[in-house]
Amino acid sequence: MTETKKTEWNSNFAFMMAMIGSAVGLGNIWRFPNVLYSNGGGSFMIPYIVSLFLLGISFVLIEYAVGFKFKKSLARILYSINNRLEPVAWFILLTVFLITTYYVCVVGWDLIYIFLSLTKAWGANPDLYFTNNVLHSTDSISGLFTIVPIVLASVFAIWFIAWFIIKRDLNDGIGRVSKILLPLLCLIVVGIVGFSLTLPGASIGYTQIFTPDWSALTNPEVWLSAFGQIVFSLSLGMAIAMTYASYLPEGSKLIDNALIVAFSNSGFEVFNSIGIFSILGFMALTSGIPFNELVTEGTGLAFVVFPQVFNIMGDVAYIVGPLFFLCILFAGITSVIALLEGVCYSISEKFLIERKKTATVVCIIGFLISTIFATGAGSAILGVFDTYLNSFALLFAILLECIIFGWIYKFDNLAETLNKNSSVKVGKIWEVIIKIILPLCIFFLWSQGIYYTFKAADGFSITIEVILTILLIIIPFIFAKLPAVNENYYD
């Protein structure tokens, strides 16, 4: 991370595993099945694939090209394009950092569930158990003053693991961990999907994926959902691909790499949802609960519906349950370290702080912010953070990146960088996508996000959103104004 020592991946495999690990996360496991189901089942694959090719891969390519060409951190890249753009970089990084603070908490809940699943400790009512015994959720803001020790401990554990990985050298930390966790994750998922297909009622579930509702295709919201899923799942706009690509050695085949990462990520979520749907089909058959009531999103699916399924499954659930939560843990950790790397890189490059120290400071501050989510009011605040940061701040970040790299920076240079060693090439269409189509799509998604955020707003969420907005304006300017310690920073 510092100027003196050039950081580089020691193999393309390490880079690929880290990139796929950054993309495969909670979003693939618990977000995708719900998005797929509520947007027309099988027919959703059409807008999904179109979004993947047209928008997702196109944007990943921009991040690859920029990172690889500049070989600098995001803050320094934007400074070198135009010094007035530096606050934009810190805005993006702060958004990513704030996302990480609550993402870590959800991974922390998952860690608790690995242990709970060993004895099915949630009992007959997993829903109540989750809110009352794990989260100790309160309805009022007064819950902010009660810490939930078990959640705090697990949040600490995840921050500690993340710190332990990112403080090491790139290859020794992120590279090595991704090379171990990702293949393990795939192995477990293959096992779970294979097992789920043998369950009675599995076909009730998985046939949903292959039963298209063609009328959904004429609904613009379905197209926006597909695009939203691609943004979330591929971790677009978070400067992850940019950071990881900046560590690539000369001669790397950028476009080939990007295609493999994007296909692996989508392949993972589609394959994984076959397992999730089969298990839900089994649940529908055994419990008589209609299938559509079982397909929920996020915490509901992982910490409520799945424990209910494990209750019915019998003794085999003592193996499948922990493996399922272990999967989420692995997917979560590889995403957390990716989210943090870009943030640490910019700080360490500007202030010339060594990797270990930066990681320590970032993780301590991150942990302190995460303690908010380990209180009685934590899950409510987490919901507001999630909606605001994902449907508003992050989309705004992507929009800014499209404008900066598409319109302000010399675009042809990026195409040249990508095409140089790759077997597949980009051309005029890619340019039109980045300059016009992608910003328009983001703009629509953004307007939709703002509309829903305001519709659902109450005093509590508005207060948090106002605080976040103020922080997201002030802090980036402070960071940009602080003089760089690194004398090469302004080159």
Residues near ligand PFF, by CB under 6 A? 23, 25-28, 99, 103, 232-233, 235, 335, 390
Picking from 447, 411, 455, 454, the residue whose alpha carbon sits closest to that of residue 430 is: 411
| Closest approach of ligand PFF to the CB of residue 394, in Å | 7
Q: What is the distance between the alpha carbons of residues 438 and 442, in angstroms, rounded to a whole number?
A: 6
| Closest approach of ligand PFF to the CB of residue 188, in Å | 17
| Closest approach of ligand PFF to the CB of residue 338, in Å | 7
- Closest to ligand PFF by CB, 61 or 398: 398
- Closest to ligand PFF by CB, 266 or 335: 335
With the C-alpha atoms ordered 354, 357, 361, 367, is the resulting torsion angle positive or negative?
A: positive
- Closest to ligand PFF by CB, 23 or 182: 23
Beta bridge partners of 212: 41
Q: What is the distance between the alpha carbons of residues 313 and 57, in angstroms, rounded to a whole number?
A: 39
| Closest approach of ligand PFF to the CB of residue 438, in Å | 18
Distance of CA 460 to the CA centre of its chain: 25
- Closest to ligand PFF by CB, 131 or 390: 390
| Closest approach of ligand PFF to the CB of residue 332, in Å | 7
With the C-alpha atoms ordered 401, 407, 413, 414, is the resulting torsion angle positive or negative?
A: positive
- Closest to ligand PFF by CB, 28 or 296: 28
| Closest approach of ligand PFF to the CB of residue 99, in Å | 4
Tokens coding 187: 């192995």
Q: What is the distance between the alpha carbons of residues 162 and 21, in angstroms, rounded to a whole number?
A: 14
Q: What is the distance between the alpha carbons of residues 343 and 485, in angstroms, rounded to a whole number?
A: 17
- Do residues 254 and 69 make contact, with C-beta atoms less than 8 angstroms apart? no
Residue 75 backbone phi and psi in degrees, to 5 = -60, -40
- Do residues 240 and 2 make contact, with C-beta atoms less than 8 angstroms apart? no
- Closest to ligand PFF by CB, 232 or 430: 232
